[in-house]
Amino acid sequence: MRSYTFFAIVLLCLAILLIDALAFYWLKSIMEPIEPTIIKNTIFIAFWFFTIGLIISILVLKIRLESISPYRKQLLISSLYGLTVSSFIPKLIFVVVISTLYFSNFLISGEKSLLIIPLVGVFFGFLPFFVIVYAVFRAVYRFKVHQVVVKSDLLPQSFNGLRIVQISDLHLGSFNYRYHILHRAINTINSLKPDFIFFTGDLVNNYAWELNGWEDVLKSLTAQQGKYSVLGNHDYGDYSKWESEEERNSNFADIKDFHAQIGFKLLLNEAECIENKGDKIAIVGVENWGNPPFKQYGDLQQSLQGVEDVGFKILLSHDPSHWSEEVVNKTNIALTLSGHTHGMQAGINIKNKEWSPIKYKYKHWAGLYRLGHQFLYVSRGLGWMGFPGRLGMRPEITFIELEKE
């Protein structure tokens, strides 16, 4: 919320008030047949008590945001975010559906109402509410393994069958120190027996203190040949206000040091060769590179120094837009692994087709993409940020097997 102006927050509150007023109008119509007045009055009071309480909480949080400790700030913002979404969207759908049905019926038949109309309206109001509640309290930590096979004629024969696990966007501050939850994901990862584990950025939301207690949890990740990582846009502390540049640099240094503490090699615009039976592949890692307003700390040309002649390169780059801008058709990098989008933490899955509103911002937003001999895989992320839930976009563990084509 700090990134939005007070005027924008006021507009949000007015939108909530308008939708709730319309929802209340239809709620009264639906409840007309109910005789006991005390029941109706109790429901009406509870309705407005929640609405007014939510609006006041949003305004107070915005006004007092700078005086609240960062830890409490994160908890309050995510809680209010969840409450706002779970309240606003169901009521909006309820108002749109029942208004459309009512006026359509009135125009066609001239009758004031039908019993089926309020029942349908209530159904379409409660259905998204329960879906969102499921997204917040259940789906947000239902880790899913996505198994992917990447076939490339550039892959050396001795690396045929290489097993890779990619994880991305942990946002540890959002876990609120519930170590046991992430342990479930780690047990799943270890059971896959990967040769390499690659982490593609956004370890935290903003602060190094979010890492407290996570060292013992994350260093239990095991890979046969190595663990490598890069930074994401949230790891630089760019979304916080700092008392001094020294404080910001200290926070950033602590975050970078943590990678070594959990056994990951943090690649900062650099590459490392892996050799097997005389064959080589290169693991390349750039700092965060994104289209504005995201910062471009990454230097791909610097990262490639010393591995130009290696035939099969794996690039770790947090933001998938980097692939379109600097990688594909401009380098000979075979496989790029990214994250960042979270799949917007919301989407629709119908058989093998997947859709999310994030596709209108990012051309490559989830899953495997190929152009010629070059591949990009975009992880949907393991943690969450902002909305404390996942709706049709479960947290992802990516299991990639490389095959010689």
Residue 254 has pLDDT above 70, yes or no: yes
CATH assignment of the domain containing 209: 3.60.21.10
Q: Are 159 and 191 in contact (CB under 8 A)?
A: no
Higher-confidence residue: 201 or 241?
201
Q: Which domain holds residue 70?
A: 6-137
Residue 115 has pLDDT above 70, yes or no: no
Handedness of CA 36, 42, 45, 50 (dihedral sign): negative
Distance CA 350, CA 143 (A): 19
Average pLDDT over residues 205-213: 96
Q: Are residues 153 and 133 in the same domain?
A: no
CB atoms within 10 A of CB 342: 28
Q: Are 295 and 232 in contact (CB under 8 A)?
A: no
* CB neighbour list of residue 108: distance below 8 Å, 6 or more residues apart: none
pLDDT band at 107 (very low <50, low <70, confident <90, very high): low
User: How many domains are contained in the chain?
Assistant: 2
Q: Are 239 and 207 in contact (CB under 8 A)?
A: no
Residue 2 has pLDDT above 50, yes or no: no
Q: Are residues 46 and 65 in the same domain?
A: yes
Domain boundary pick from 137, 152, 169: 137
- Closest to 401 measured CA to CA, from 149, 84, 130: 149
DSSP 228: E
In Å, how far are 274, 275, 341 from 371, measured between CA atoms? 25, 27, 20
- pLDDT per residue over 271-294, tens digit each? 999 999 999 999 999 999 999 999
Q: Residue 1 domain-assigned? A: no
Residue appearing with tokens 């190929």: 370
- pLDDT at residue 156 in the model: 97
Q: Residue 173 domain-assigned? A: yes
- pLDDT per residue over 162-175, tens digit each? 999 999 999 999 99
Residue 23 has pLDDT above 60, yes or no: yes
Distance CA 118, CA 226 (A): 59
Domain boundary pick from 137, 161, 182: 137
Q: Are residues 248 and 109 in the same domain?
A: no
Residue 70 has pLDDT above 80, yes or no: no
